[in-house]
Amino acid sequence: MSPIAHLIGSWLLGAATMNQRRDRCLVTFAGVLPDADGLGILVDAAQSMATGQDFIPVNYERFHHLWLHGGPGALAISAALACFSAHRFRVLLGGWVAVHLHLFCDWIGSRGPAIDDLWAIAYGEPLFRHPVWAWTGQWQLNGWENSCVFISLLALALGFTRVHGISFMEVFGSRADAAFSRAIQHWGRPRPDAETPKHPFARGCSSPELHRRRKWNTGALHGTGHPLPPVSRTEALMSCRFGVDRADASGLSPTRRSE
Ligand SMILES: [Zn+2]
């Protein structure tokens, strides 16, 4: 499966079992890090560009799915990440489960274009050559099955964010998480300040004082009165909230000004 699917899936595991952000992030990293053994492809690309020769993924095929996609890799990743955690044993266990969730996802959905282009899990690598597991019904890497799994994981993660106010964006930083979570939680819901009038003549503000003042100024445009100073925001909110009596008491009504 794609690294994004691994990230969201392992974050859900961490979010369901860890209380602290750092521990959740470490479990998420554990679910993504096995694919770091595929970074040899960058070396292959750099060699190809430097020498001008055809691109041949020698390092990619030599290390990918072998160094970090087995039992020894799972232990190394989870133990290394647990050193940075607040609850070491819990993160060690969570990271170990996250790596195996990654291995399971690769086992069911990493086939190449050809029907026999299977990605096997060599669980003993790089220390032992056996056991090696391959599923003949393996889904294609970019097949619809993997798309369905990704959409389901994303829906679950967004639902979790909606309810609990934390998101998988926390692996990129607290600010990114806060902005993303706020957007998800407010999506489709009225804003908290939606009922507060923002303008003196905002819809729903039916103060007689404001109505009379607007009428007065409109008349002034036709030469039937004198224009009044514009309504300030504070005055408008006072009038909306307390009605004409309080506005009159402030000495700002047209009646008081015309005296
Ligand atoms: Zn993988």
Q: Is the same domain home to 254 and 178?
A: no
Can you give the pLDDT at residue 159?
96
Tell me the residue range of the domain where 232 lies: 208-258
Can you give the pLDDT at residue 117?
83
User: How far, in Å, from the CA of 103 to the mean position of ligand 1?
Assistant: 6
Can you give the pLDDT at residue 90?
95
User: How far, in Å, from the CA of 112 to the mean position of ligand 1?
Assistant: 13
Q: Is the same domain home to 148 and 235?
A: no
Q: Report if residue 73 sits inside a domain.
A: yes
User: How far, in Å, from the CA of 54 to the mean position of ligand 1?
Assistant: 26
User: How far, in Å, from the CA of 106 to the mean position of ligand 1?
Assistant: 6
Residue 246's pLDDT band (cuts 50, 70, 90): very low
Q: What residues have CB less than 8 Å from 192, skipping those under 6 apart?
A: none
User: How far, in Å, from the CA of 110 to the mean position of ligand 1?
Assistant: 8
Residue 171 structure tokens: 């692996």
Interatomic CA distance for residues 194 and 199, integer angstroms: 12
Asked if pLDDT for residue 88 goes beyond 60, the answer is yes
Mind listing the pLDDT tens digit for each residue in 110-146?
888 888 888 889 998 888 888 989 888 899 988 899 9
State the DSSP H helix or E strand holding residue 10, giving kind and residue range, or none if neither: helix 3-17
Asked if pLDDT for residue 99 goes beyond 80, the answer is yes
User: How far, in Å, from the CA of 69 to the mean position of ligand 1?
Assistant: 7
Mind listing the pLDDT tens digit for each residue in 4-13?
999 999 999 9
User: How far, in Å, from the CA of 92 to the mean position of ligand 1?
Assistant: 19
Q: Is the same domain home to 173 and 217?
A: no
Q: Report if residue 72 sits inside a domain.
A: yes
